[in-house]
């Protein structure tokens, strides 16, 4: 595994810490998960797919990403 250095704004660093705490993992794991999620979304957007979020009330929100 390679080590990398990233520069994050204070706001993004806080978001990263909050996500790690919520999930009970370290910041490195959150970043790895974020990269995997972004890759999944990018691959599907490239194929012309849409992303839907099912809400608690069983309604859906459509998320549109530009290529």
Can you tell me the mean pLDDT for 1-6?
A: 92
Buried/exposed 50-62: b ≥16 CB within 10 Å, e otherwise: eeeeeeeeeeeee
Kindly tell me the number of DSSP H helices and DSSP E strands found in the chain. Answer: 2, 2
This prediction's pTM: 0.79
Would you kindly state where each structural domain of the chain is located, as residue ranges?
10-63
Banded model confidence at residue 44, pLDDT cuts 50, 70, 90: confident
pLDDT of residue 50: 84
Least confident interval from 7-11, 31-35, 39-43 = 39-43
The answer to whether residue 18 scores a pLDDT higher than 90 is: yes
């Amino acid at each position: 595994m390679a080590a990398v250095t990233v520069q994050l704004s204070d706001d993004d660093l806080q978001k990263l810490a909050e996500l790690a705490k919520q999930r009970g993992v370290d910041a490195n794991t959150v970043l790895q998960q974020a990269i995997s999620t972004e890759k999944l979304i990018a691959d599907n957007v490239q194929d012309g797919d849409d992303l839907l979020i099912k809400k608690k009330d069983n309604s859906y929100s459509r998320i549109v990403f530009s290529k």
